[in-house]
Every structure is written in structure tokens, then in C-alpha cells.
Amino acid sequence: MSEPLNDAELRRRIASLIVVRASGHASDRQRRYPRWELPNQTLRRLLADGVGGVILLGGTATELHQRCRTLQRWADQPLLLCADVEEGVGQRFEGATWLVPPMALARLHQRDPARAVALAERYGRCTGRQARRCGLNWVLGPVADVNNNPANPVINVRAWGDTPATVIALTCAFQRGLQSTGVLSCAKHFPGHGDTAVDSHLQLPLLPHNRARLDAVELAPFRSLIAAGVDSVMTAHLQIPALDAERPATLSSATLTSLLRDELKFKGLVVTDALVMDAISQRWGAGEAARLAFAAGADLILMPNDVDAAIAAIAAGLRDGTLPWSRLDQALDRRRQALARTQTFAADDAEDPDDLIDLELAEERELATTLVALSLEQRSPTAAQPLAAPGAGGVNLIRVDGVLPSTVLRANAPALTLPEQAGFRSLLCHPLGLSPWRPDQANDAPLALERLGEGPVLVQLFLRGNPFRGERDRSEPWGAALQQLQRLGRLAGLVVYGCPYTWERLSGQLDPATPAFYSPGQMDDAQALALERLLSPDRTGTDRDEGFTD
């Protein structure tokens, strides 16, 4: 630092390294997660005080565009505006393109590597172009974790594969596509969150592997993405004794400085994962966590529990000498360099919200439908019989593991409407609603059939692994439930949306004549295609490559 700073200027500079969370909706009353999404009054004050980044969630693409413009007006400096749009902008903001999860490309890569790589690059380009048109300049992806643990409750289908080679090939292709749009990228979660069986939103996971194993598996994709020019790296809240016996990766200088900076030669931005997550917040206060992360080598502090406390703690560390002033200079310089590589509102971006009515270009819509078609899987297509007509009545039993209201199961979702048109009545089971289980039943007959009613049962499972759910979904005995229905001759069919490991486990227990489909995606496109194939037997043999163009 070439000259002394007064307290106000020091706080402003530190504040520019803080990233806070906001709703994509304009009104405070529209916030879906008020625990984390700051109200407008607080948000406006913090941006005026110099906070330099916002992560957004919720609303439509048009609302996001306007929201980004508003946030930028409230600030007196260019902002880093980002979102967790790992499956395209439509995953978080309606009206944009929602793509199948990255794991779908990994399964395609097993049988057609060249096509998977080409599609992964288009995936990145689609994501970046739409993010930029909506006002974002930073995409928090790709996920570089190698999901080689099927029990992983939080990464799962977000990963681009379960082997280092697949993850490297696909994430680097995604990076090329995203980079071509002028939007910043982010490799996460360093040094690798794939081989964990607990959720760092709830607990601090332990990764017990030695350094040789970490080099061969976890670190390999990050090395490749750094070589490919990835703009930022997000830390993981993981305890890894082989790297640091005392502190988790987010707070570890051995991990963020010695390994990531010095050994892997990463020169871009390092951003923490959200510090509000329980893996950190249950052990360290907001100020202490921010100070330790900054000392360890993080340039940007994402979602501290208390923004003012985080700024004050870093300022105190700089003033008392426990934090070197060079850390502040380095972080500010990296932020400036990153912003110089992108523009929040480029000349070719939409300036009028009305221009976003047709945000999804024809080629992006085609990409979405192609990926859904290529990733749809059917078990025993030659042996399966047509879906039995429900006759006097049938049950469309749907299990959703996400939060309510569910983005994948609106009132007009194909998972509801198509079976209902075929004569099934829908029954939704969710932790906040109906439970289909009878705890007093034997382990091989867990379903409370009296709650379901009579007739054949079509089972649709929306299970993919979601943050904050931990072990809850894994404890449900769906394998035994399907066996129970089969013994009674009541299982009409099965569709699994999301987790491939759930599909592989359950489909192997089915009678070969039972029609069953799997789709990694859970959106309307995926539901419609799976159920059209299930309910229209003459279409089950349709070529999955139909409509592909590269």
C-alpha cells in the first residue's frame, strides 16, 4: 500500500471484495429465501458503501435484467454480478434456457466422446450469452468436482463426470464456450468436493485421501482448467488432513496459497464458497471466518453472515499487522483485472427489458431439446410392455425431493397433466406433505397402500441430491416399495428424473416387462419426452440422436 488509508476508504476497498446475495425479484416481499437474500434497504446501503459483488437467484430473465441495472445504479463502481447457473440461465431464471445437468453429458461421453465435447462447448456458449444478455458478467461454473462417490448428497448430477478424464474433457469444453462470450468463469469446489458423503451446507466433510490420490483425481480437473484460462476458483468447505490438519480448505493458506497459487500457478480470482454454510458458520463467527479466509488467500468473500463484521475484521487485521497489506493490493488488482475482461452491459447486450421477451434463440432451444433427447434412457426397450391403461382408475405417485414451491412441478407440469390425461390421478408425496410410508410395516412392504387407493401405480421420482437435505432422501425405501407394487401386480411404470445412481439401483430390480425411463433433467422438456415415450409405446424406439445438429 503506497499511502496510508483513512478508515472510510479502507472499508470501501475491503467492501469491494465482498459478494452478497440478493433476490432477482425487485420487491422484498418476493424474496424466496429471506434468510440469505438481503432486503433492498440493506442492499442499497451496502452497495453505496462499496460492496462490489452480488449473487442473484429467482425471478424471470426479464426481471433479472432490470434487477442488474438497478443494482448497478445503486453502486458507484462496476459490480461483479453472478449466479449459480450450472444448468443454464433457465435453471434459476424463468424464460431463459434450462439445460440438462452436466452429468447427462458425462453419460453421453461414455458412448460418444466427440459429440459430448461439442455439446459441452455449446452448453458453455449458451450459458454465457444468456447470462450476459440478462446483465450477469460472472457464471459460477463449471463444477470441476469428480463425483466418484454415488452417495454424494450435494454434488451428484452437478458434476461433469465421475472420472478425471471425463470431467477434464467436458469442463474445458464448457470453459471454451463460456469464455467466447466475455463472461467470467469459476471452477469449483477447490480442491474437490466429489468424493464426500456429507453436505457442507450442513456439516464439515472430511476428505481422508493422501496427496498422491488428490493429485490423480481431485486436483486434475483444476490443473486443466487453470491451463485453459479459467477466471476464478471457488473454495470448498472441506477438511483435508493431507493438505492442512487444522483448517478447512476455505480457511487454509496451505491450500489456497501454497497449493493453488504457488504450485498450480493460478493467477485469477479466488472466491470462497458461501460463508453462511454450516460447515463454516457453526465453527467460526462472521468476522473471524472472513479474516481467516482472506489471510489464507481468498480474494472475494462470498455471503458472510454479517457483512459489516466481515469488513471490520479484515480492516482490523490489516491495521494490527496480522494481515499483510499486500493481500489487499493483490485482491483488488485481481478484481480489477477480472472486470476488465468483461462488461456488465456490453453494446450488443439488450438495453430494453422488452428485448428479452425472446431471450431464447432458436439454436439454444434446439440445444436444450437435443440434450434432453440424447440423455433419455429406457430399460429393456425390447422387453417392456406398453404402459397398462388404468381402467377404472390409477395412481400417479410422484416424489419430489426439492423445496416447495417446486420449480419442477408446477400445476401444469407434464408429470401431472400427461398421466392425468391417460386416466391416472396424481398423488404428490413430499417431506412437507403426504408420506407414503407406514413405519410399522415390514421392511419389504413399506408403502401404506390404503393411502394410495386402488388401481395401477405409475411412480415418478424427482431425486437428484439437493443442498440442505443430507441423508433424508437416501433413507427412503423406494427399492422395497417398487418390489411391493410388483408383487401385487400394481406397478404400471417407473420414471426417474435426476440421479443416475438412483436409476441404476432401482431399474435393476424391475421386472423386464415393466416400462421404465430415466432422464437426468427434471424440467418440463424432460418430463414431456419421458412420458410421451412411456404413454405412447409406438414412439419408444425413436432414435435418441433425432434432431441433432452441431
* Rounded Cα distance, 463 and 453, in Å: 24
Query: Nearest 5°: CA angle at 349, between 345 and 353?
Result: 95
Contact by Cβ (8 Å): 395, 499: no
Query: Nearest 5°: CA angle at 303, between 297 and 304?
Result: 75
Contact by Cβ (8 Å): 275, 301: yes
The torsion angles phi and psi of 88, rounded to 5 degrees, stand at 90, 160
Contact by Cβ (8 Å): 96, 90: yes
Per-residue pLDDT of the chain (550 residues; tens, 9 = 90+): 545 789 999 999 999 999 999 999 999 999 988 989 999 999 999 999 999 999 999 999 999 999 999 999 999 899 999 999 999 999 999 999 999 999 999 999 999 999 999 999 999 999 999 999 999 999 999 999 999 999 888 899 999 999 999 999 999 999 999 999 999 999 999 999 999 988 778 889 999 999 999 999 999 999 999 999 999 999 999 999 999 999 999 999 999 999 999 999 999 999 999 999 999 999 999 999 999 999 999 999 999 999 999 999 999 999 999 999 999 999 999 999 999 998 644 444 544 555 555 678 899 999 999 999 999 999 866 666 667 667 668 999 999 887 666 788 888 999 999 999 999 999 988 765 666 666 555 577 888 888 888 899 999 999 987 655 555 555 688 999 999 999 999 999 999 999 999 999 999 999 999 999 999 999 999 999 999 999 986 544 443 333 322 3
Strands 394-400 and 457-463: parallel
Which pTM was predicted? Answer: 0.92
By annotation, the residues acting in catalysis are 201, 273
* Rounded Cα distance, 517 and 254, in Å: 46
121-153 burial, b at 16+ Cβ within 10 Å, e below that, comes to bbbbbbbbbbbbbbbbbbbbbbbbbbbbbeebb
pLDDT recorded at residue 438: 65
In single-letter form, the type of residue at position 526 comes to A
pLDDT recorded at residue 451: 81
520-550 burial, b at 16+ Cβ within 10 Å, e below that, comes to bbbbbbbbbbbbebbbeeeebeeebeeebee
H or E, element range at 394? strand 394-400
H or E, element range at 517? strand 516-519
DSSP 30: G
Contact by Cβ (8 Å): 101, 145: no
Burial of 257 (0-12, 13-18, 19+ CB in 10 A): middle
In single-letter form, the type of residue at position 49 comes to D
In single-letter form, the type of residue at position 263 comes to E
The torsion angles phi and psi of 120, rounded to 5 degrees, stand at -65, -35
pLDDT recorded at residue 536: 80
pLDDT recorded at residue 519: 98
pLDDT recorded at residue 208: 95
CB count within 10 Å of CB 308 equals: 16
Q: Among all chains, which residue has been given the C-alpha cell 459429440? A: 115
Helix spans in 49-198 (H):
61-74, 102-111, 113-134, 164-179
